[in-house]
């Protein structure tokens, strides 16, 4: 039956947060569980998951070869006996080879953005959609959303999971949604001026595009009515957060998710902003060395590997996200007891190797924003004209610097080069370019053009 109850899905209690609390919690029962109780719940759900994914040919064959079944899972440590799943595995099972339920049970199908290759489809049952809205409601409330707020969603509505995931999370909280969708930036600003939303949801780079457009219209972007924003969909740095907060006069919150796992809602920041709280009653998250696939010490960077504990339509076992982050388990002032993750520093498949040095685009961004007068709009060009790699960074600067004396511009170039060498450990040529000369994107920003005799790629 399409809507039959599932024994592995714990009913979500009707949340009753104290909205006067400095640190409101949407679902105190789930978000403040003592660690021992949470781990017991995770173990119970992991056993049920191993039984359910046996319906998926990919897992059934691997489990049979390794003699794995629910009886094999005696502790959470046995998670490491289970196989990894990768995006390539999903592509080989294209389009819906990972379904664990009959097709008639599906309520919706989304797709990944396809920014690093062929898009992959992800499916949801009605139960999955209820859980998804619950998880988005948790991090939205943690980051300040209240039922009386109006929220402008400037994410794409379509196969991309961001728009719909956040939309239904906002409605779950009881707040008002303006589904503005992505693009048409001047129209976004008109909507803000007409409807006075307190909250903006989009990619962090698009938030800065909105600020730029407001200035072009002769407006001070700090005068827009939004008070805070929830930003995700692409890696961003603390320096970029400060830039967004300064330009728009808002509080900016980070969240994390990926379509292969569920979409936005895997984790998000509370108002203490000490990291993004993972929803550990629904996900088991490992942090592994991407080369050895062994756990890294707590607080050290590693690749996030996620197991979905309650996903019905397309559960994932040990999905390798390729995202590099850190995990922290010390207490948070907000009262949540969940593990927190850092912001994503980069992706293993976006990492550049420049003359033997591993470099993430986010390190270049961090270096740029340390220099007064630069903006977060840049393009990294990597080439190999001879036998050695060369890196050229084009960065927009504020108009007052671009139109100033050449000696001052040269000094800015030299300081940026020094900062890049300090942060990323490489030498780079720096070109200062005019404001708005680098392409803007309404979705994920493309920061890298790599043309080294390999396959030309953009990321």
Judged against a pLDDT cut of 90, whether residue 76 lies above it is answered with yes
Instruction: For the beta carbon of residue 8, count every other beta carbon within 10 angstroms.
Output: 18
Could you tell me which of 123, 203, 115, 189 has the C-alpha nearest to residue 156? 203
66 versus 117: which is more confidently predicted? 66
Judged against a pLDDT cut of 80, whether residue 113 lies above it is answered with no
Judged against a pLDDT cut of 60, whether residue 437 lies above it is answered with yes
What is the predicted pLDDT for the residue at 446? 81
What is the predicted pLDDT for the residue at 33? 96
Structure-block tokens of residue 32:
């403040």
Mean pLDDT of 209-236: 94
Judged against a pLDDT cut of 50, whether residue 217 lies above it is answered with yes
Mean pLDDT of 221-235: 93
Structure-block tokens of residue 257:
């998710």
Residue with tokens 């982050």: 325
What is the predicted pLDDT for the residue at 350? 80
DSSP state string for 199-223 = EEEE-HHHHHHHHHHHHHTT--GGG
Residues in CB range of 372: below 8 A, 6 or more apart: none
What is the predicted pLDDT for the residue at 452? 81
Structure-block tokens of residue 217:
């219209």
Where do the DSSP E strands lie in 238-356? 251-258, 263-269, 276-278, 283-288, 302-308, 319-325, 327-328, 340-341, 346-347, 352-354
What is the predicted pLDDT for the residue at 197? 98
Residue 304's pLDDT band, with cuts at 50, 70 and 90, is: very high
Residue 2 DSSP SS3: coil
Judged against a pLDDT cut of 60, whether residue 458 lies above it is answered with no
Instruction: For the beta carbon of residue 180, count every other beta carbon within 10 angstroms.
Output: 24
Residue 280's pLDDT band, with cuts at 50, 70 and 90, is: very high
Which domains, ranges and CATH numbers included, belong to the chain? Answer: 1-348 (3.40.50.12780), 352-458 (3.30.300.30)
- H helices of 32-78, in order, are 35-52, 57-66
What is the predicted pLDDT for the residue at 313? 98
Structure-block tokens of residue 431:
């070109």
**How many CA atoms are closer than 13 Å to the CA of 104, on its beta-carbon side?**
4
Whether the link from the prior residue into 95 is cis, omega within 30° of 0, is yes
What is the predicted pLDDT for the residue at 454? 46
Range in 36-40, 431-435, 455-459 the model is least confident about: 455-459
What's the Rg (C-alpha) of the chain? 23
What is the predicted pLDDT for the residue at 359? 86
Average pLDDT of every residue of the chain? 89
What is the predicted pLDDT for the residue at 3? 38
pLDDT per residue over 9-18, tens digit each?
Answer: 444 444 566 6
Judged against a pLDDT cut of 80, whether residue 226 lies above it is answered with yes
C-alpha span between 200 and 196 (Å, rounded) = 11
What is the predicted pLDDT for the residue at 297? 97
Judged against a pLDDT cut of 60, whether residue 102 lies above it is answered with yes
What is the predicted pLDDT for the residue at 400? 76
196 versus 235: which is more confidently predicted? 196
Mean pLDDT of 324-346: 94
Judged against a pLDDT cut of 70, whether residue 404 lies above it is answered with no
CA-angle at 110, arms to 258 and 94, nearest 5°? 90
Judged against a pLDDT cut of 50, whether residue 85 lies above it is answered with yes
The H-or-E segment that residue 194 falls in is: helix 185-195
Q: Taking the mean position of all CA atoms in its chain, how far away is CA 338?
A: 18
* Backbone torsions φ then ψ of 23, nearest 5 degrees: -125, 70
Percent of the chain with pLDDT over 70: 92
What is the predicted pLDDT for the residue at 445? 78
Instruction: For the beta carbon of residue 164, count every other beta carbon within 10 angstroms.
Output: 25
Range in 131-145, 202-216, 255-269, 390-404 the model is least confident about: 390-404
What is the predicted pLDDT for the residue at 349? 79
What is the predicted pLDDT for the residue at 43? 98
What is the predicted pLDDT for the residue at 16? 62
């Amino acid at each position: 039956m399409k809507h039959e109850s599932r024994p592995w899905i714990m009913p979500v209690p009707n949340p009753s947060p104290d909205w006067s609390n400095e640190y409101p919690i949407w679902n105190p029962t789930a978000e403040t569980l003592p660690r021992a109780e949470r781990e017991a719940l995770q173990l119970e759900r992991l056993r049920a998951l191993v039984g359910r994914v046996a319906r998926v040919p990919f897992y059934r064959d691997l489990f049979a070869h390794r003699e794995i079944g629910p009886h094999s899972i005696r502790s959470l440590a046995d998670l490491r006996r289970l196989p990894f799943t990768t995006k390539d595995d999903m592509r080989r099972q294209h389009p819906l080879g990972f379904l664990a339920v009959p097709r008639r049970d599906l309520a919706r199908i989304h797709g990944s953005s396809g920014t690093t290759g062929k898009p992959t489809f992800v499916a949801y049952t009605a139960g999955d959609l209820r859980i998804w809205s619950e998880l988005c409601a948790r991090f939205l409330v943690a980051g300040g959303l209240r039922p009386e707020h109006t929220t402008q969603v400037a994410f794409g509505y379509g196969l991309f999971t961001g728009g719909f995931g956040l939309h239904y999370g906002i409605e779950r909280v009881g707040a008002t949604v303006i589904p503005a969708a992505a693009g048409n930036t001047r129209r976004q600003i008109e909507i803000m001026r007409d409807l006075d939303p307190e909250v903006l949801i989009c990619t962090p780079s698009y938030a800065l595009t909105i600020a730029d457009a407001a200035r072009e219209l002769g407006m001070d972007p700090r005068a827009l009515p939004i008070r805070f924003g929830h930003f995700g969909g692409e890696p961003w740095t603390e320096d970029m957060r400060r830039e967004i907060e300064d330009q728009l006069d808002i509080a900016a919150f980070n969240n994390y998710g990926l379509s292969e796992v569920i979409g936005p809602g895997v984790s998000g920041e509370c108002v203490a902003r000490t990291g993004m709280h993972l929803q550990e009653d629904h996900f088991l998250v490992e942090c592994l060395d991407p080369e050895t696939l062994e756990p890294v010490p707590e607080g050290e960077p590693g690749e996030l590997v996620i197991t979905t504990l309650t996903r019905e339509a397309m559960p994932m076992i040990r999905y390798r996200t390729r995202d590099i982050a850190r995990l922290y388990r010390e207490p948070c002032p907000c009262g949540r007891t969940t593990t927190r993750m850092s912001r994503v520093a980069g992706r293993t498949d976006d990492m550049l190797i420049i003359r033997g040095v591993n470099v993430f685009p986010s390190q270049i961004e961090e270096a740029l924003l340390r220099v007064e007068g630069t903006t977060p709009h840049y393009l990294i060009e990597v080439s190999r004209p001879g036998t050695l790699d060369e890196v050229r960074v084009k960065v927009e600067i504020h108009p007052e610097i671009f139109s100033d004396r050449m000696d001052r511009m040269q000094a800015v170039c030299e300081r940026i080069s020094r900062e890049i060498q300090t942060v990323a450990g490489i030498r780079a040529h720096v070109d200062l370019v005019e404001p708005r000369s680098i392409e803007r994107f309404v979705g994920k920003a493309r920061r890298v053009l790599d043309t080294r005799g390999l396959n030309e790629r953009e990321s």
